[in-house]
Amino acid sequence: MEAHLLFGPSVSGLTSIYSSQIVQTALDALPGNASETLRSTYEKMLRIGGERFCAKPACMPDFDALTLELPNFTAVLHDLRGQIALCLESDDPLLISPMLLLGEPGIGKTHFARRLADLLATGYAFISMSSLTAGWVLSGASSQWRNARAGKVFEAMVQGDYANPVIVIDEIDKAGAQSDYDPLGSLYELLEFDTARRFVDEFAEVPIDCSHAIWIATANDATRIPEPILNRMNVYCIDSPDPEGARRIGRSLYRSLREGRAWGALFAPEPSTEVVESLSRLEPRAMRRALMQGFGNARLNRRGELKVEDLPELSPRKMRIGF
């Protein structure tokens, strides 16, 4: 029988993700008119130090429960089991190959990434490429530019507690290259173990070890992703759940929403068969919205049981509501 992770990861030791000596040298070399943001960045790096926990599970995470919750991600979880099994049998740190979750909107890709981060418990950073406002959001911009600052990857590594956080690049296919800057350019080195060990953010200009980061990208259209980036990731084509899988997701979401909130005690532990059947016609994100509205409608009617009439009329799964 598979053991389950119940109490979070075991810390396998401290590792240095940057050299305080190099940071101090960079700080000392700043001219008097240097960016105050850069100066304060160096000072903060020195204050918190470059050592971070490099953690891994003490035993196999509870992927069985996640498979029940998101049955259309079985293939991804199978490969993750194998990669984690390797580090459990040795003193090696947790290393997981970069992955791309590819599929239609609304099938749970982003939710899966968040749930995996919860199970691994090594930290989490979310970068949405659909809301990209600057091409340098990943890698930072030179401090010589006005209002420049460090990129999201640098922030995730320096401000986090772990050397191996889960970093989600959401909707990577929507990060179209700009005429003067490729917003995905930094991923060419970040997704390769050897080059990720000395990643240099263009703002901070000191090397950061990002080689232990766990990369998860999501996308709807692989043709809009550069081939060199696709070649650096394990690509998983995620299908919509089948009818039985959709019912399982509906039950799981009901329990998760009910158990995660104080008002959940007002409702029955399990949804009715009729409610589950109605939810199964929706994509996972639409299920979540329908349940939240349904819970509210039920309480307006002073009921502790969700009924089909409490659920809003939402488009069925074939409409591909975005997740």
pLDDT, average across residues 163-177: 88
57 strand-pairing partners: 9
pLDDT for the residue 69: 85
At 170, is the pLDDT very low, low, confident or very high (cuts 50, 70, 90)? very high
pLDDT for the residue 236: 96
Look-up of token digits 């696709």: 230
Sign of CA dihedral 211, 216, 222, 224: negative
41 close to 76: Cβ distance less than 8 angstroms: no
pTM over 0.85: no
At 112, is the pLDDT very low, low, confident or very high (cuts 50, 70, 90)? very high
Compute CA distances 257 → 8, 133, 253, 261, 264, whole Å.
21, 32, 6, 7, 7
pLDDT for the residue 313: 74
Task: Indicate the average pLDDT of the chain.
Answer: 87
pLDDT for the residue 130: 78
Residue 287 in this model has a pLDDT that exceeds 70: yes
pLDDT digits (tens, 9 = 90+) for 52-68: 998 888 889 989 988 88
Residue 16 in this model has a pLDDT that exceeds 90: yes
Residue 45 in this model has a pLDDT that exceeds 90: yes
Q: What's the rounded Cα separation, in Å, for the pair 269 and 149?
A: 48
pLDDT, average across residues 192-197: 95
pLDDT, average across residues 296-306: 94
At 7, is the pLDDT very low, low, confident or very high (cuts 50, 70, 90)? very low
pLDDT for the residue 240: 85
Question: Is 319 buried (19+), middle (13-18) or exposed (0-12) by CB count in 10 A?
Answer: exposed
pLDDT digits (tens, 9 = 90+) for 76-95: 999 999 999 988 888 888 88
277 strand-pairing partners: none
3-state secondary structure labels for all residues of the chain: CCCCCCCCEEEEEEEECCCHHHHHHHHHCCCCCCCHHHHHHHHHHHHHCCEEEEEEECCCCCHHHHHHHCHHHHHHHHHHHHHHHHHHCCCCCCCCCCEEEECCCCCCHHHHHHHHHHHHCCCEEEEECCCCCCCCCCCCCCCCCCCCCCCHHHHHHHHCCECCCEEEEECHHHCCCCCCCCCCCCHHHHCCHHHHCCEECCCCCCEECCCCCEEEEEECCHHHCCHHHHCCCEEEECCCCCHHHHHHHHHHHHHHHHHCCHHHHHCCCCCCHHHHHHHCCCCHHHHHHHHHHHHHHHHHCCCCCCCHHHCCCCCCHHHCCCC
323 close to 108: Cβ distance less than 8 angstroms: yes
pLDDT for the residue 181: 66
At 274, is the pLDDT very low, low, confident or very high (cuts 50, 70, 90)? very high
Q: What's the rounded Cα separation, in Å, for the pair 192 and 206?
A: 18
How many other C-beta atoms are found inside a 10 Å radius of the C-beta of residue 190?
24
Q: 116: which residues sit within 8 A by CB, 6+ positions away?
A: 66, 80, 166, 216
Phi, psi values for residue 64, rounded to 5°: -60, -45
pLDDT digits (tens, 9 = 90+) for 198-223: 999 999 999 999 999 999 999 999 99
pLDDT, average across residues 29-47: 94
pLDDT for the residue 318: 44
Q: 131: which residues sit within 8 A by CB, 6+ positions away?
A: none
At 11, is the pLDDT very low, low, confident or very high (cuts 50, 70, 90)? low
pLDDT for the residue 223: 93
At 314, is the pLDDT very low, low, confident or very high (cuts 50, 70, 90)? low
